[in-house]
Amino acid sequence: VVVDVGDDAAAVQMAGSDKLLLFTCDMLVEGTHFRRGWSGFSGEKLGWKALAVNVSDIAAMGGRPTYALISLALPGGIEMEFVDEVYSGLLRCAGEYGVIIAGGDSVGSPQGVVIDVSLLGEVEKGRLVQRKGARAGDLIAVTGSLGAAGAGLHILESQIPLIAGGEDLIAALLEPRPRLAEGRALAESGLVSAMMDLSDGLADDLPRLCQESEVGARIFAKKIPVHPACRELFDGGLEHALCGGEDYELLFTFVPESLPKIASALKKAGAQPPIVIGEILPPDGGLQILLPDGSKSPLPEGFKHFSS
């Protein structure tokens, strides 16, 4: 094993191959990660998301997803239509990201729905990007706006009346779009020193990248690309952008001189330019955020999934 527990996916050396095999799995549990009663929720979206979050793990390593297996636990009495919807969402996501669903199994569940997707992928040996590798002086960037999914979750869970713009936030939560083209372009550029996907929120995930890289970091609140609807509806939206999670944008680092080449690599891939949000500090620099009022603060703890 090249990369073990603690990165987005495991990477395994295959005898006789110039590629590494990537291997990841993520489980979505009803009542922890979703509720069937949510406004806008469907089996189709659950299927999409269950595969999409795994594709994001592969993208975060610079890889390309290949084959998936599905484990589904279903309460007795669930409509077959729901199961068909789940598979239709899985297949739509598989089609979009070039994944082959190689098998699946369903078992009974005494309570809610559980879906676990295992996904294989591959990456050229020299192109693997890990959480470790960031160095003091590197810039920290993300691939897109943050906070939408967390704001969408807040709307669904607090059952506040649906406000204009709220639908986009809920859609971001229910149907995340993993940054596969971006991850590939960044890996192929050879210029990225560390990368991961933002599944738990910047405030939780950046410390993980820093821990694996053995560095500190400083981010600038003003530079964080808060999703417009999140900003408008939630008083600037910084809390959701930092702590909300499930945005599935990529977080990555590189030396400042590489910025133009990285921008050009992303452009070629049809993606947004990198959004620089901060810089990597030496190990003793700690983890800090510069707030809009100019004050410094340690990075807040990300909130956990609502059930915990």
Distances (CA, A) of 4 to 63, 212, 228: 16, 12, 37
Q: Rounded to the nearest 10 degrees, how much is the dihedral formed by the CA atoms of 148, 238, 153, 227?
A: -10
Q: How far is CA 40 from CA 23, 110, 152, 168, 244, in A?
A: 31, 25, 11, 11, 19
Distances in Å between the Cα of 111 and the Cα atoms of 72, 133, 148, 279, 285 are 13, 43, 29, 46, 47
Between CA 162 and CA 166 the distance in angstroms is 6
Of residues 9 and 129, the one with the C-beta less far from a copy of itself: 9
Q: Which of 36, 40, 88, 109 binds a copy of itself (CB under 8 A)?
A: 109
Binding a copy of itself (rule: CB under 8 A), the pick from 14, 160, 163, 291 is 14
| Residue closer to a copy of itself, measured from CB, 23 or 41 | 23
Classify residue 82 as exposed, middle or buried by CB count within 10 Å of its CB (0-12, 13-18, 19+): middle
CB atoms inside a 10 Å sphere around CB 262 = 22
Task: Please give the residues from 35 up to 74 whose contact with a copy of itself meets the rule CB under 8 A.
Answer: 66-67, 69, 71, 73
Stretch that binds a copy of itself, among 102-110, 157-165, 170-178, 201-209 (CB under 8 A): 102-110
In the list 95, 98, 103, 190, the residue contacting a copy of itself (rule: CB under 8 A) is 103
Part of the chain binding a copy of itself (CB under 8 A), chosen from 26-34, 88-96, 166-174, 238-246: 26-34
Which residue number, 22 or 281, has a Cβ lying nearer to a copy of itself? 22
Q: Which of 37, 80, 105, 164 binds a copy of itself (CB under 8 A)?
A: 105
Rounded to a whole number of angstroms, the minimum distance from the CB of residue 50 to a copy of itself is 12
Please report the beta strands in 39-152, taking only residues with DSSP state E, as ranges in sequence order. 64-75, 100-109, 114-124, 139-142
Examine residue 5 and tell whether it contacts a copy of itself (CB under 8 A): yes
Return residues touching a copy of itself (CB under 8 A): 1, 4-7, 9-10, 12, 14-19, 21, 23-27, 29-33, 66-67, 69, 71, 73, 76, 100, 102-105, 107-112, 114, 116, 118, 120, 304-305, 307-308
